[in-house]
């Protein structure tokens, strides 16, 4: 027996949440660091692909939920995106620096001084170093110089320079390489550095980090967005990839970055992170839920063919204002920890074969069944119920089979609010 693989579904926000204030009240439900719990690669983690900010806070925008970080609260909270007026992320093509305004388009930089004066600067021909890197990537033949295209962006201003991401494209081989460049405001000259090692990733965001320039390069595919983060050290001139996990940021891939004051906010494939100079990184992931009103928890049976129909049995209630950990997501349901764990039975034969899987946190679904069917004494009868990826605790053997403890039930996703939990990074 096995269940279908988890699938994300588009779903409207639950009815009855009439105002933003109702959600903000749940900020106080935030859980602390979960006993050294590392986020891991859980399919129910929400991601927030775009970050923007204003004077009120930082907004991590997702399709259904937006994570909001406000200084006066000190902890991020999830708010339905439909209820938010989220500021648009900066497109990165313009920057104000030193009292002047700079804009880029393709290979051209505009420098506006004051109201009247405006100078235009065009990138010169690619450098020898850039052409060497293009050859490493498999581009550039004798005719390629006629069809090379170079583009700048995004941009940031610091240390007397306007910095930008770079792309050099060879139209004949359809090969492109990426890099970093800057325009020196004193000499009015361009400098460019390319690297074939960046691969198919293109500059998406640029910002400053300590004495370095940080560039986020991203590549979209059918499997989602992958990224690489590079640092240019202004003092040494060293340009190399940043190990985000070594910096304490939880995740394998950065989706977006924004700076506010002396803080850098990262959106990753595992949640959101806050980096502040000289202080530990704070990582948060959607590992728990809570509700505004009492919400019914259910027992469920996955394999409808065994019973002839899909079954959902009322089981318990999640009280309002109480947060509970998510064990798994399946379709439109979360499997969550319950307020009152219960006892049940599995057959001795099933436990002998699968007990070592069922007692672990994440089951090895290469071994069937991917769910455990537990017989639970309930209201004078035996109720079968199915569970995934929640540890079954061995309580002993009886004539009825193996007795186990269960700390899980199912709740509809649109009836609860995701809670961002502080986690440790995976190193």
Statement to judge: residues 142 and 281 lie in one domain: yes
Residue 220 in domain: yes
Domain range for 196 is: 94-287
Residue 31 in domain: no
Q: Is the separation of the CB atoms in 219 and 255 below 8 Å?
A: no
Q: How many helices (H) and strands (E) does the chain have?
A: 4, 31
Residue 1 in domain: no
Residue 360 in domain: yes
Statement to judge: residues 302 and 274 lie in one domain: no
Write the CB contacts of 78 (distance below 8 Å, at least 6 apart in sequence).
23, 46, 65, 66, 67, 68, 286, 417, 418, 419, 420
Residue 399 in domain: yes
Statement to judge: residues 112 and 205 lie in one domain: yes
DSSP 8-state class, residue 179: E
Statement to judge: residues 283 and 393 lie in one domain: no
Statement to judge: residues 222 and 269 lie in one domain: yes
**The predicted structure's pLDDT at residue 40:** 44
Write the CB contacts of 117 (distance below 8 Å, at least 6 apart in sequence).
none
**The predicted structure's pLDDT at residue 83:** 87
Q: Is the separation of the CB atoms in 299 and 315 below 8 Å?
A: yes
Chain centroid to Cα 169, Å, comes to 30
**The predicted structure's pLDDT at residue 309:** 52
C-alpha to C-alpha distance for 98 and 157, rounded to whole angstroms: 8
Statement to judge: residues 236 and 120 lie in one domain: yes
Half-sphere exposure of 137 (CA within 13 A, CB side): 27
**The predicted structure's pLDDT at residue 15:** 38
C-alpha to C-alpha distance for 321 and 416, rounded to whole angstroms: 10
Q: Measuring CA to CA, which residue among 162, 156, 226, 231 is closest to residue 195?
A: 231
Can you list the residues of the chain whose pLDDT is less than 50? 1-41, 305-308, 368-369, 426-427
The predicted-structure confidence for 312-339, as pLDDT tens digits, reads as follows 889 889 999 888 999 888 888 899 999 8
Of 242, 264, 287, the residue that ends a domain is 287
Statement to judge: residues 358 and 221 lie in one domain: no
**The predicted structure's pLDDT at residue 84:** 84
Write the CB contacts of 374 (distance below 8 Å, at least 6 apart in sequence).
344, 345, 346, 384, 385, 386, 387, 392, 404, 406
Q: Please name the residue that has the structure tokens 């991917």.
A: 370
Of 260, 287, 314, the residue that ends a domain is 287
Q: Which phi and psi (to 5°) does residue 357 adopt?
A: -80, -45
Structural domain count of the chain: 2
Sign of the CA dihedral 396, 402, 403, 408?
positive
Chain centroid to Cα 155, Å, comes to 24
DSSP 8-state class, residue 281: P
The residue count of the chain comes to 427
Statement to judge: residues 110 and 254 lie in one domain: yes
**The predicted structure's pLDDT at residue 107:** 96
Residue 311 in domain: yes
Of 287, 308, 332, the residue that ends a domain is 287
Q: What is the pTM of this model?
A: 0.82
Statement to judge: residues 101 and 158 lie in one domain: yes
Reading the block at residue 130, the tokens are 């850039």
Q: Which phi and psi (to 5°) does residue 27 adopt?
A: -60, -35
Cis peptide before 369 (omega within 30 of 0): yes
Q: Assign residue 131 the CATH number of its domain.
A: 2.40.128
Q: Which phi and psi (to 5°) does residue 72 adopt?
A: -75, -15
Q: Measuring CA to CA, which residue among 258, 159, 250, 245 is closest to residue 216?
A: 258
Statement to judge: residues 308 and 410 lie in one domain: yes
The predicted-structure confidence for 364-408, as pLDDT tens digits, reads as follows 665 544 788 999 998 788 999 999 888 899 999 988 899 999 999
Statement to judge: residues 161 and 200 lie in one domain: yes
Residue 69 in domain: no
Residue 65 in domain: no
C-alpha to C-alpha distance for 207 and 264, rounded to whole angstroms: 9
**The predicted structure's pLDDT at residue 249:** 92
Sign of the CA dihedral 29, 30, 35, 39?
positive
DSSP 8-state class, residue 185: T
Per-residue DSSP letters for 244-265? Answer: TTTTT---S-EEEEEEETTEEE
**The predicted structure's pLDDT at residue 318:** 93
Reading the block at residue 291, the tokens are 């509700």
Statement to judge: residues 256 and 137 lie in one domain: yes
């Amino acid at each position: 027996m096995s269940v279908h693989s988890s699938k994300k579904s588009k779903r409207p926000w639950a009815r009855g949440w009439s105002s933003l204030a109702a959600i903000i009240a749940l900020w106080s439900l935030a859980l602390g660091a979960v006993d050294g719990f590392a986020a891991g690669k859980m399919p129910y983690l929400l991601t927030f692909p775009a970050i923007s900010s204003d004077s009120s806070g930082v907004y991590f925008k997702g399709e259904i939920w937006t994570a909001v970080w406000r200084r006066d609260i000190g902890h991020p909270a999830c708010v339905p995106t439909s209820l938010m007026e989220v500021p648009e992320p900066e497109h990165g093509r313009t920057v104000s620096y030193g009292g002047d305004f700079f804009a880029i388009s393709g290979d051209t930089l505009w420098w506006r001084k004051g109201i009247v004066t405006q100078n235009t600067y065009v990138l010169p021909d690619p450098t020898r170093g850039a052409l060497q890197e293009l050859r490493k990537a498999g581009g550039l033949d004798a005719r390629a110089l006629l069809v090379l295209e170079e583009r700048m962006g995004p941009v940031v201003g610091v240390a007397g320079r306007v910095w930008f991401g770079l792309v050099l494209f060879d139209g004949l081989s359809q090969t492109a390489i990426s890099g970093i460049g800057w325009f020196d405001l004193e000499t009015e000259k361009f400098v460019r550095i390319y690297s074939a090692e960046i691969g198919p990733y293109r500059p998406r965001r640029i910002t400053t980090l300590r004495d370095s320039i940080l560039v986020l390069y991203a590549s979209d595919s059918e499997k989602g967005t992958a990224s690489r983060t590079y640092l240019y050290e202004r003092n040494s001139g060293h340009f190399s990839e940043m190990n985000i996990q070594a910096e304490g940021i939880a995740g394998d891939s950065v989706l977006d970055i924004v700076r506010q004051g002396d803080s850098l906010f990262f959106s990753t494939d595992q949640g959101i992170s806050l980096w502040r100079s000289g202080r530990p990184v704070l990582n948060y992931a959607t590992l728990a839920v809570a509700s505004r009103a009492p919400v019914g928890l259910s027992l469920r049976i996955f394999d409808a063919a065994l019973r002839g129909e899909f079954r959902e049995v009322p089981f318990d209630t999640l009280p309002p204002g109480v947060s509970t950990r998510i064990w798994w997501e399946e379709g439109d349901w979360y499997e969550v920890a319950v307020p009152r764990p219960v006892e049940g039975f599995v057959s001795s034969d099933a436990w002998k074969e699968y007990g070592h899987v069922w007692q672990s946190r994440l089951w090895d679904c290469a071994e069937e069944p991917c769910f455990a069917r537990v017989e639970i004494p309930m209201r004078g009868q035996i109720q079968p119920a199915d569970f995934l990826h929640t540890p079954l605790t061995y309580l002993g053997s009886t004539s009825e089979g193996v007795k186990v403890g269960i700390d899980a039930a199912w709740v509809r996703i649109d009836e609860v609010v995701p809670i961002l939990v502080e986690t440790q990074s995976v190193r």
